[in-house]
């Protein structure tokens, strides 16, 4: 007759191994790899600068704002939900019929990246999945294409809560994930007629917030359509 009474220590070891495997599967499932290591040592994160615009005088002698040629930095905040919403809008809200180019929008997010620099190369690669390349951007300019995001839900996914519970100290305190379900809206001009389109979007972002950092920073992004739930 088989002995079903395995020692408690053995079962504890199995549970720990299963939990660790769950964390790794969740990380690999969205193409994110350096999140569990944390920064090599505590670092001080400099506040992000505030973008300004220089007004130009109008015909009536009063100052009038010039067309936007800079983007306001992402907010310097310790509120992860506020920061996650700002990241979402920075990823999807853009207008090709402006003085800004696609690199301006990419740099806005890169400037809010991991202050240690550990995750930044991965984030730069992630952004390729969200922004058009320069050649496509130039084509979109011909159609005066604009894009914006309409957020349906923005929340910490249950799978991330499971990962935190399983990972314990392996996931540094202050690391958090948000999954976004939204609608991407585009409009432009085609052969002289106004056109528009709408497409569902879902993705997960990984952030570092206090106490891991002094203010929230963007670590990595999942591939669009592959989100923690």
Q: Which domain holds residue 123?
A: 8-39+67-221
Burial (Cβ within 10 Å: 0-12, 13-18, ≥19) of residue 182: buried
Residue 167 has what pLDDT? 73
Q: What pLDDT is attached to residue 193?
A: 84
pLDDT digits (tens, 9 = 90+) for 159-184: 998 888 887 677 889 999 999 999 99
Query: 227 pLDDT exceeds 90?
Result: yes
User: What is the overall mean pLDDT for the chain?
Assistant: 79
According to the model, what pLDDT value does residue 68 have?
59
At CB < 8 A and 24+ separation, what contacts does 197-200 make? Answer: none
In a domain, 196, yes or no: yes
Q: What percent of the chain is modeled with pLDDT above 70? A: 69
User: Is 22 part of any domain?
Assistant: yes
For residue 1, tell me if it sits in a domain.
no
Whether 82 is covered by a domain: the verdict is yes
Contacts for 117 with CB less than 8 Å, ≥ 6 apart: none
For residue 61, tell me if it sits in a domain.
no
Two structure tokens written together for 214: 């002094």
Q: For residue 41, what pLDDT is reported?
A: 46
Count the domains in the chain.
1
Specify the pLDDT at position 192.
82
The answer to the question of residue 3 being in a domain is: no
Q: What is the pLDDT of residue 32?
A: 43
C-alpha pair distances (Å), 157 with each of 53, 203, 227:
38, 11, 9
Q: What percent of the chain has pLDDT over 90?
A: 60
Q: Which of 228, 112, 109 is nearest to 160 (CA)?
A: 228
Q: Is residue 55 part of a domain?
A: no
pLDDT, tens only, 63-92: 444 445 789 999 999 999 999 999 999 999
- Alpha helices per DSSP H over the chain: 8-29, 80-92, 102-110, 120-127, 134-142, 158-167
pLDDT at 152 (0 to 100): 98
Give the torsion through C-alpha atoms of 117, 120, 121, 127, to 10 deg: -170
Whether 227 is covered by a domain: the verdict is: no
């Amino acid at each position: 007759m088989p002995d079903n009474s395995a020692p408690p220590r053995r079962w504890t070891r199995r549970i720990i191994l299963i939990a660790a495997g769950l964390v790794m599967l969740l990380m690999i499932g969205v193409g994110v790899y350096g999140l569990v290591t944390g920064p090599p040592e505590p670092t001080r994160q400099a506040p992000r600068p505030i973008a300004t615009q220089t007004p130009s005088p109008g015909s009536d002698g009063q100052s009038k704002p010039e067309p936007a040629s800079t983007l306001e930095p992402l907010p310097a905040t310790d509120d992860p939900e506020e920061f996650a919403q700002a990241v979402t809008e920075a990823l999807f809200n853009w207008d090709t019929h402006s003085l800004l180019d696609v690199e301006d929008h990419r740099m806005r997010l890169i400037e809010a990246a991991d202050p240690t620099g550990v995750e930044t190369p991965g984030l730069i690669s992630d952004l390729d999945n969200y922004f058009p390349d320069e050649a496509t951007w130039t084509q979109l300019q011909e159609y005066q294409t604009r894009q914006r995001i309409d957020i349906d839900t923005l929340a910490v996914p249950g799978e991330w809560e499971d990962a935190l519970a399983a990972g314990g100290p392996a996931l540094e305190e202050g690391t958090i994930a948000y999954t976004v379900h939204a609608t991407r809206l585009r409009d432009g001009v085609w052969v002289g007629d106004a056109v528009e389109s709408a497409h569902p979007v879902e993705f997960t972002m990984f952030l570092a917030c206090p106490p891991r950092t002094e203010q929230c920073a963007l670590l990595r992004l999942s591939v669009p359509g592959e989100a923690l739930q």
